[in-house]
Homo-oligomer: A and B are copies of this chain.
Amino acid sequence: VKKVSIGILGATSYTGIELVRRLHSHPHADIAFASSQSYAGQKLSGVFPEVLGMWDGELVSPEQSAKQAGHVDCVFSCLPHAVSAQLCLPFIDKGVKVVDLSADFRIRDAAVYAAWYGAAHPRPALLSQAVFGLVEHYRTQIRTAQIVANPGCYPTSILLPLLPLVKAGVVDTRTIIADSKSGVSGAGRTLKLSSHFVEANENLSAYSVGHAHRHIPEIEQELSGAAGRAVTITFTPHLVPLNRGIFSTIYFAGPPAKQCEEIARAAYGSEPFVRVRASTDLPKIGFVAGTNYCDIAFAGGENGAPVIALCAIDNLLKGASGQAIQNMNVVFGFDETAGLS
């Protein structure tokens, strides 16, 4: 297999550096360039000394990166929403495959995008072309996609346990409550008080409570699509004092846990990265941290009590860069686990 030539936009983020680490040991990928607004001109190992000896290239500016559009096969964008779509356009226009880790291609309805992200989409016509990169549910479409919208971290942890059940019609979709707990890397590398060590350590808090977090529209879009009716959820994210991982505890009216587990096993039995666990062997963040696994289990659902779905992922891998590489592997026809085991 010939190696694909890769560009990384916004490489000096936690998701960017995770891509560099994983692509470094990927058998079919070569990093051609990595861009950074803040650190252009510096070596990546000057910003992230841990990559010394892995990939020591010099970071290019976003403007310079656009000139590389004709020389790469695939671009990953770790840029913030709004900026990301704009800077992906030169690559899209050259036919380069794009895996966008921002939200810019996740929402198919441009009005919904504008309402939640506070800005008009720079090229709304592309929204219907992009494929939502939840591999386990869109693998066929991803194979031929040019633009893959890599799902958000919280949505991945909520949709993977729910989608098979919603598709099977066993969930009362008016009752879904997702209580999610995320490690601090989910808040990114930008300095802010809530991510300051002394503030986050030995602490735990809820934020964007109610119906306020920007990951809501993509969760509701996918659940609505699967249900065939408009679904609204309650979602409370929490910040917990650990580096990596999301744990989602999801409540809804549905059938006994055993039945949910069977539906999930049927859906995911041959998936390399989804592990359905028994109710006696519940997911933990520690079991998935540093891996691309998504671990799922179910409890409750007896005698009218709510079902409790439990899901754990590494927010930087299955919730971001790992899933992005999984998408790239599908797009280029590689072994889906290449670079991820």
Contacts and interface: CB of A to CB of B under 8 A. Distances in A.
A203 interface: yes
A50 B197 contact: no
B240 A240 contact: yes
B287 A242 contact: no
Contacts of A282: 205-207, 209
A247 B251 contact: no
Contact of A52 (B177, B210, B275): B275
Contact of A308 (B210, B232, B281, B286): B210
A282 B305 CA distance: 29
Interface in A180-219: 181, 184-185, 189, 191-193, 195-207, 209-211
Given A290-B290, A308-B236, A285 B49 contact: no
Contact of A275 (B53, B206, B211, B289): B53
Given A53-B275, A196-B197, A203 B242 contact: yes
A161 interface: no
A167 to B, nearest CB: 24
Contact of A197 (B52, B177, B200): B200
Nearest to A284: B205
A241 interface: yes
A224 interface: no
Contacts of A322: none
Given A53-B275, A177-B306, A299 B209 contact: yes
Contacts of A207: 282
Contacts of A279: 209
Contacts of A243: 197-198, 201-202
B202 A191 contact: no
B199 A196 contact: no
Contacts of A312: 204
A10 interface: no
A293 B53 contact: yes
Interface string A98-130: 000000000000000000000000000000000
Contact of A50 (B53, B238, B245, B287): B287
Contacts of A202: 202, 242-245, 285-286, 289
A267 to B, nearest CB: 16
Contacts of A200: 197
B14 A198 contact: yes
A61 interface: no
A197 B241 contact: yes
The 8 nearest A-B residue pairs measured at CB:
A203-B286, A191-B191, A205-B284, A50-B287, A209-B299, A197-B200, A179-B179, A184-B197
Given A49-B281, A201-B242, A238-B247, 18 more contacts: A49-B287, A50-B286, A50-B288, A52-B275, A177-B177, A184-B198, A184-B201, A191-B192, A201-B243, A202-B244, A203-B242, A203-B289, A204-B285, A205-B247, A209-B282, A209-B310, A234-B308, A238-B249
10 contacts: A50-B288, A53-B272, A195-B196, A204-B240, A204-B242, A204-B284, A209-B282, A210-B308, A234-B300, A238-B247
